[in-house]
Amino acid sequence: MNQHQLMYFLEVYYLGNISQAAKKLYVSPQSVSQTIIGLEKELDQKLFDRSGKKMVPTKTAVRLSTHAERILEEYQYILSNNFPNSEERRTVVMACCYDAPQSLGIEFYHRLQVEHPDIVFRLEEMPDPDAIAKLENNQVEMAIVPGPINTSQYQIQYLSSQRLCMLFNREHPMAGHEVFTIEDFQKIKNTPIAVKSQKLFGSMEQNNLLTSLGLTPNYILEVSDYHIIHEMVENNYSAGMTLDILADQLDPAKATSAPIQDSAFEKNLYLVKKRGYRLSEESEIIEQEILRSFGKLDSKGTS
C-alpha cells in the first residue's frame, strides 16, 4: 500500500465515480480502476459496490477512509517545511475526562514550561467515552480517565481518587452538614441539582444505585464547566454536585459542601495508553511528568 493508492481511493470515496476521480487526479479512468482493484486485493476486502457508474463505499471503505486521511495528512506534513527539527517545538495532545486538568495542579504546568520549553502540551477535556475513543482510534497516545478500564487492551497507571460532593447554598436546610449519605437524596428530592455531564463512566453506576433505592434526584442542568454549577449554588438557584478538589473553590460565605458517602461517588483517575504501543519521545516526557505530579515516581524517576 502506498500514498498514491490511498489518494486514488479517497477521491473515488468522496466523488463516488471513477471518471470524476480520474479527471481530478489527471490520470486515466483505467489507472484509477486498476488501483482500486489492486487495493482491494491487497486488503482482501471489498471497498466499493458497483452500481452502474456509481461507486458505493462499503463499511470497510468507511473505516479505511478515516485512516487514509490521517496517513496522507502525516505524509504531507513530513514533506512540508513544518516538519520539526531538534530546535523546534513539538506538540503533545492528550484526551482527558472533565476536571482532570485541575487535578494535575498548576505546578505541573509551570514545571513543564520551565523544564521542557520545546514541548507544547494540549490537554483536551471531553466525556469519558470520547477520550477512550480517541485513544482507540490513535488520535492521541495517552488519556486520563476514570475506571473501569479494559486492562487487556490498555495499560493503566493509577493516579488519584476523588470524591463527589453535594453543594448547598447557605440558606438550604442541608447546608453545613459534614457528610451527605445516599439516604439524604430522599430529603432533597424536590431540590433542583446542577451536575457535570451524565455521559461519564461513573454516572451509570451512580444512577443505578439511586434507582435501586427508589431515589430520583432532580437533575435540572448538565454542564461541562463546574464554574456554572458553583454560581447556580452560590445564587441559590439550585444545589450542585462537583468533585472535592473543585468544591473547595466555593465561596464559603455563600455555600457549603459535603462529601457523598458511597464508593459509587468516588472517582479513580488513571493514566491510560494502549498495550504494546510505544510512545513518542515527547509523550514519554509528558507521561513521566504526570506521574511525577501525582507522586508516582521514586527518586530515580521510576514508577
In which band, very low, low, confident or very high, does the pLDDT at 277 lie, cut at 50, 70 and 90? confident
Cα(31)–Cα(10) distance, integer angstroms: 14
Cite the residue boundaries of each domain of the chain with CATH code 3.40.190.290.
161-267
Which residue would you say has higher pLDDT here, 85 or 222? 222
What's the rounded Cα separation, in Å, for the pair 184 and 288?
41
Residue at 183: amino acid letter: E
Q: How many CB atoms lie within 10 A of CB 34?
A: 12
Q: What is the pLDDT of residue 300?
A: 47
Nearest-angstrom CA–CA distance, 98 and 225: 8
Q: Which triple of cell numbers denotes residue 83? A: 516538519
Average pLDDT over residues 80-95: 71
Cell of 164: 463527589
In this predicted model, what pLDDT tens digit does every residue of 13-48 receive, in sequence order?
999 999 998 888 888 889 999 999 999 999 999 999
Q: How confident is the model at residue 78, as a pLDDT?
A: 72
Give the residue from 282, 281, 280, 303 showing the smallest Cα distance to 138: 280
pLDDT digits (tens, 9 = 90+) for 144-171: 998 888 899 999 999 999 899 999 999 9
Question: Residues spanned by CATH 1.10.10.10 within the chain?
Answer: 3-79
- Of the candidates 258, 289, 244, the one whose C-alpha atom is nearest the C-alpha of residue 104 is 289
Query: Is residue 299 scored above 50 in pLDDT?
Result: no
Give the model's pLDDT for residue 70.
85
| Record: fold of 161-267 | D-Maltodextrin-Binding Protein; domain 2 (3.40.190)
Cα(145)–Cα(128) distance, integer angstroms: 6
* Weakest-pLDDT range from 66-70, 84-88, 150-154: 84-88
For the stretch 282-295, pLDDT in tens is: 999 999 999 999 88
Q: For position 198, what pLDDT does the model report?
A: 58
Q: Where are the alpha helices (DSSP H) in the chain?
A: 3-15, 18-25, 29-43, 59-79, 100-104, 106-115, 128-136, 184-187, 201-212, 226-234, 244-247, 281-293
Q: How far is CA 269 from CA 145, 160, 175, 176, in A?
A: 6, 5, 29, 28
pLDDT tens digits, one per residue of 122-146: 999 888 888 999 999 889 999 999 8
Percentage of the chain modeled with pLDDT above 90:
49
Fold exhibited by the domain 3-79: Arc Repressor Mutant, subunit A (1.10.10)
